[in-house]
A and B are shown apart, each in its own frame.
Chain A
């Protein structure tokens, strides 16, 4: 089981166990990590679970739907992802997820 470290915009860190089959977004919601809103519930159509993947590999490629939402973010970086599209598996390495200043 990979360990997921969420870092809020103000630097506060939260370490939680990632469960196989859940997404990073669902993990954040389950543990009440502030900074992820997930207004659409995981369909990649709202963009409010945006995050930056600082470490942790083997991620699925960005699909066109995710790309179209990321493209609207004024604060997009090369490691920007929608956390609802990041499915966790037991084979994954530990991940570090940095949260943006705001969701919109």
Chain B
């Protein structure tokens, strides 16, 4: 298949961009949830 490299790269690039972004958002969400739980715990103790 002619130009298969470009076709494959384009296909991979689109999903990689979304996949990496989703990982980035999910990790930020997980970190924030942990911080939020810590704050709630602090409030309960006071």
A complexed with B: no
**Chain A residues at the B interface, C-beta cutoff of 8 Å:** none
Residue positions of B touching A, CB distance < 8 A: none
